[in-house]
Amino acid sequence: MKKILSYIFLLVLFQSACAQETPNLPEDVVYSQQDVAIFSNIIQKFEPKKDQPINKLIPDIGRYFLGDEYVAHALEVTDQEKLIVNLRDLDCTTYAENLLALARTLKSEEITFERYTQELEKIRYRDGQRGDYPTRLHYFSDWIYNNAANNLVTTPADSFGSPLDIEVNFMSTHPDSYKHLQRNPAFISVVADQEKEISGKDYFYIPKENIDEKMHLLREGDIIGLTTSIEGLDVAHVGVLVEVNGKLHLMHASQSNLKVEVSDEPLSSFLKPNSKNTGIMIARPVDTIN
């Protein structure tokens, strides 16, 4: 019964979207009519809340996707680098990116699908400019600090966190794991140079053993990256903090449970002592939209 109702709901979304004017977008933006329909439904639902702070708006939008399916490699669907718009299938990073892009669109003066795709490109690519595959912000530490440089987020842990030594090289040393690196070997050296640059910067995080004492410095709507001890990587998972019964939990596209969900346990318990997660990096969305 639940699946039948879901199909009926999607049909209504399709019919609603088809009645709208087709977005005026370049050919290198990949989207479906279903994405337009979902976007329209979100705007209709959350536009009355657009004036609330962005750290409240993001969790509200995030709950819209609860129960949606986790799909890995959601951006690796074309041979050439294009802007992939996908509100149907989400991994942990695209979930966070979409929430930020949708919230920024709602708080802008131009609440359109075109503006949403512009915000998504601004968030996903180095300095907001999409080029070939290496321009995508693949490492989340790089994502955080590049978006901070472009005034989309701040990095609050810089003032209260601990220094984080990062040495990333996983992509250049495992090119067979990445479709675009397999097909374009020339990109490997470009990525390797970027990895050296990323590794040479200063970063701050909260070690997992210190999260309880620093919890009062976190807030709902923060986008967090779970740092990892896996060699060559900086962050292994991404999510958004949400308040549940006065405590902060992680809302995320879960790879283990294959759906968007809110963690059963608070953040401090979610980061298990024996896991490879070492702590969290924090991106705090900026409320002012240019």
- DSSP letter string over 163-177? EE-----HHHH-GGG
CATH superfamily of 2-285: Putative xylanase like domain (1.10.3670.10)
Collapsing DSSP states into helix, strand and coil, what is residue 259? strand
Looking at residue 274, what is its pLDDT? 73
Which ranges in 19-53 belong to alpha helices (H)? 33-46
Count the neighbouring beta carbons within 10 Å of the beta carbon of residue 59. Answer: 19
How confident is the model at residue 8, as a pLDDT?
Answer: 46
H or E, element range at 142: helix 140-149
The pLDDT tens digits for 120-147 are: 999 999 999 999 999 999 999 999 999 9
Cβ pair 255, 239 in contact under 8 A: no
Q: What are residue 248's DSSP bridge partners?
A: 243
Indicate the helix (H) or strand (E) that contains 187.
Answer: helix 186-199
| Of 212, 219, 259, residue with least CA distance to 95 | 259
Count of beta carbons in the 10 Å neighbourhood of residue 72: 11
Residues of the chain with pLDDT under 50: 1-8, 11, 13-14, 17-19
Which pLDDT value is given to residue 9?
Answer: 52
The tokens describing 179, both together, are: 């479709």
